[in-house]
Amino acid sequence: MHLFEDIQQILRQAQQNASRSINKTMVDAYGLVGKRIVEVEQQGESRAAYGQSLIKNISGQLQREFGNGFSIVNLQNMRLFYLEYQIQQTPSVNLQNQEKLSYLSQKPVIPDFQLSSISIS
Average pLDDT over residues 59-72: 94
Distance, C-alpha 74 to centroid of its chain: 12
Determine the pLDDT at residue 44: 56
Contact in structure between 87 and 106 (CB atoms under 8 Å):
yes
Give 2-15 pLDDT, tens digit per residue: 999 999 999 999 99
pTM of model > 0.75: no
Q: How far apart are CA 113 and CA 32, in angstroms?
A: 15
* Band (112; pLDDT cuts 50, 70, 90): low
Determine the pLDDT at residue 40: 78
Q: Higher-confidence residue: 48 or 69?
A: 69
Determine the pLDDT at residue 39: 83
